């Protein structure tokens, strides 16, 4: 299996940032959750059952939304090839702004927070056995939001085949790039550039990045809303033998309210 290679808290940095009268984007402004997620005994057993009932070969962290999370430890195992027999390709989607990605990123990652581009790349000719992992700085907002839209696009394209999907193995990296870089810098190129930093605020990169991101997300959501929801009564009526269609392994998680939990990750043999 291969990792597709692409070329491509917020605590203010002293009072200097506070003196700049520039509105901050309302995203990833929360400090990341603890890297150690504590599961109450009742929920721990539920998480085990969910894993047993899905096709995910690694542990997932139940979390709010329609895309489960994976840990930095799981991501490292994926990058190391521990699950390469399960997937033909791994795609890491870095949803941060361009200057953040240029300052440092996970090896082989694609810097993109435009769902329209991802739709063209992944759904024009769907890939088989692909693992897709999204993240941003903390995986609190941008990463999960783009991942959710990606899943909605899949649902929209397969509305006649509900609950089948082209990409059932979609995850969000828990703790985002910050957490992963702190634990596994050897799997990253470059360092770690915060979204909110003095240079990005003074040169306009922060405002431009935020404006473009909001425009991308707004358009993507409008496009999705134009299509009706899939009809559950057709769940077994379409592409039953098509290897590119898979039953959704994530849906059991969505039925529970795990608002306390956050994300987790994975990847494979990256050519350096």
Residue 136 annotated in active site: yes
Burial 227-238 (b: 16+ CB within 10 A, else e): eeebeeeeeeee
Cα–Cα dist 225/233, whole Å: 20
Cα–Cα dist 225/152, whole Å: 10
Cα–Cα dist 257/265, whole Å: 21
Peptide bond into 163 cis (omega under 30): yes
Cα–Cα dist 236/240, whole Å: 7
Residues in the chain: 272
- 136, 161, 188, 238: the active-site residue: 136
Which amino acids are annotated catalytic?
A: 136
């Amino acid at each position: 299996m291969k990792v597709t290679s692409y070329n491509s808290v917020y605590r203010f940095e002293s009072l200097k940032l506070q003196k700049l009268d520039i509105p901050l984007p309302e995203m990833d402004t929360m400090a990341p959750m603890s890297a150690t997620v504590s599961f109450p005994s009742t929920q721990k057993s539920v998480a085990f059952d969910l894993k047993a009932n899905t096709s995910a070969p690694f542990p997932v962290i139940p979390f709010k939304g329609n895309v489960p999370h994976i840990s930095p430890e799981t991501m490292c195992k994926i990058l190391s090839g521990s699950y390469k027999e399960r997937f033909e390709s791994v795609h890491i989607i870095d949803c941060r702004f361009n200057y953040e990605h240029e300052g440092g990123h996970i090896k082989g990652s694609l810097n993109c927070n435009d769902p329209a581009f991802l739709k063209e790349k992944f759904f024009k000719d769907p890939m088989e056995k692909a693992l897709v992992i999204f993240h941003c700085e903390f995986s609190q907002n941008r990463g999960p939001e783009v991942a959710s839209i990606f899943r909605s696009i899949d649902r929209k394209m397969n509305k006649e085949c509900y609950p089948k999907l082209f990409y059932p193995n979609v995850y969000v990296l828990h703790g985002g790039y910050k957490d992963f870089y702190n634990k596994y810098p050897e799997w990253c190129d470059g360092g770690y550039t915060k979204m909110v930093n003095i240079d990005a605020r003074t040169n306009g990169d922060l405002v431009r990045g935020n404006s473009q991101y909001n425009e991308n997300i707004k358009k993507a959501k409008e496009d999705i809303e134009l299509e009706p929801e899939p009809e559950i009564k057709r769940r077994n009526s379409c592409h039953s033998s098509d290897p590119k269609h898979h039953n959704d392994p994530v849906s059991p998680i969505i039925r529970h309210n795990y608002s306390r939990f956050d994300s987790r990750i994975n990847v494979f043999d990256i050519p350096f």
